[in-house]
Amino acid sequence: MADSTQQKAPSESNTQDQTDDNNNSTQQQDPKKKRTGPKRRKVTHACVYCRRSHMTCDEGRPCQRCIKRSIGHLCHDEVKNANNNNNNNNNNNNTSPVTHNGTTLSQQQGLNASLGSGTNLGGLPLQFYGQMGAGQLTFASEQMGNEISVISDFLDSLGSTQQPQQQHQQQQVYQQQQQQQQQQQQNNINTTERFFLTAADPSDGKLEDRLTEVINAKYEAGFLKPYNYVNGYARLQKYMDNNMSASSRQRILNVMGTFRPAFRSVAQSLTDIDLILVEEAFERLLLDYDRVFSSMGIPACLWRRTGEIYKGNKEFAALVNVPIENLREGRLCIYELMAEESAVNYWEKYGNIAFDPGQKAVLTSCLLKSPNPENTSVISCCFSFTIRRDKYNIPTVIVGNFLPIQLQ
């Protein structure tokens, strides 16, 4: 009996020791759940374009994302409230609202309010990159986020004027942007070499997987980019400001407000790679219409959803009295070849069925004109257009046929 009592005592002491060890180990493990290392450094203030496009920004001004989008000269922070500015001045004396090129933020916003003095409408209005109000959405593709922001703020944009001093300042900023782009090109050497190596020796696997790998490498190297529709909307706004009345502009803006929700819901999940594949399908479609237009005798042309004409036959070129070379690569827009009321009528009918998969063709009438302002004659036509959509139900190509009726 004594032996059994002695045996129980050690076992009880062992149990107590194990309990203490478990408590100690639990206490030691609990602190491990907390992060003991330095906290991850976060950017407290994103630039206006990264913030409104819901994309990641960095501390540089211009940031790397704006440099890649060729809008480094427009990169700046938003104006903060007075209370926030007072707090920031106490913490950091270097947070004065001055942009990277030495101008004040108000001057920079004045520069952003114009379409720019460079080519291809490089300097875009600041209101083109506004927020979408309540219910902010995040877009997988930066290009789609920009286009939705354009349509959102396009509804209340009325254009602006530009002073000669601002033009000179913007020219200096543009030169600085060119220098930054050259530096960025040097940083892209590694991605370029990786693309050439991937294209020369892709990994083993299915043909589709190898093609996807090459396309991704080509995109990372900067050789593939989605089409920038922002410039198309800037061109439309400039044309409306110079050639249309206020009531006509308002009617077109109201139409864009009708299809904006449907466009935004579809575009939210699209990536840049998806848009690149859509653009490749657009190029194949142009090749198909080369054969179609050459075999038909009716004046016809096709354009993008923002109006830039990319293909036309010789009959249409003769009808509007322009060289057929001007009907390529977006040199002309379809609304530039229509009388004001006809252009407004087209946008209204297009907006009503743009994202309705059940409808794709419209039959109406229009008045065509020559882009030459000295030629004031118009041509009355029976006009029909068909919307060609991609696999995401987004309008990609609009094909128009014109049947002349009477010369006025």
**DSSP bridge pairs for 300:** 401
Task: Please tell me which residue, 190 or 323, carries the higher pLDDT value.
Answer: 323
Closest CA to 348 of 336, 324, 333, 364: 364
Q: What is the pLDDT of residue 169?
A: 60
Residue 123 pLDDT > 50, yes or no?
A: no
Q: Could you tell me the pLDDT band of residue 385, with boundaries at 50, 70 and 90?
A: very high
Task: Please tell me which residue, 164 or 391, carries the higher pLDDT value.
Answer: 391
User: Which tens digits make up the pLDDT trace of 185-200?
Assistant: 655 557 777 777 777 7
Q: 147 near 236, Cβ under 8 Å?
A: no
DSSP secondary structure string, 374-392? T---EEEEEEEEEEEE-TT
By three-state DSSP, how is residue 295 classified? coil
User: Which tens digits make up the pLDDT trace of 256-265?
Assistant: 888 888 888 8
Q: What is the pLDDT of residue 173?
A: 65
Q: 48 near 56, Cβ under 8 Å?
A: no
Task: Please tell me which residue, 250 or 51, carries the higher pLDDT value.
Answer: 250
Q: Which of 4-13, 117-126, 205-214, 220-229 has the lowest mean pLDDT?
A: 117-126
Q: What is the pLDDT of residue 60?
A: 84
Q: What is the pLDDT of residue 200?
A: 72
Q: 335 near 347, Cβ under 8 Å?
A: yes
Tokens of 113: 């309010």
Residue 31 pLDDT > 90, yes or no?
A: no
Q: Which of 41-55, 135-149, 302-316 has the lowest mean pLDDT?
A: 135-149
Residue 161 pLDDT > 50, yes or no?
A: no
Pairing of strands 309-312, 361-369: unpaired
Q: What percent of the chain has pLDDT over 70?
A: 64
Task: Please tell me which residue, 182 or 329, carries the higher pLDDT value.
Answer: 329
Q: What is the pLDDT of residue 187?
A: 56
Residue 313 pLDDT > 90, yes or no?
A: yes
Q: What is the pLDDT of residue 127?
A: 39
CA distance 108 to 63: 16
Stated pTM of the model = 0.56
Q: What is the pLDDT of residue 219?
A: 76
Quote the mean pLDDT of the chain.
74
Q: 379 near 408, Cβ under 8 Å?
A: yes
CA distance 397 to 408: 30
Question: Across residues 275-292, what is the average pLDDT?
Answer: 87
Q: Which of 74-78, 193-197, 308-312, 332-336 has the lowest mean pLDDT?
A: 193-197
Q: Which of 50-59, 239-248, 300-309 has the lowest mean pLDDT?
A: 50-59
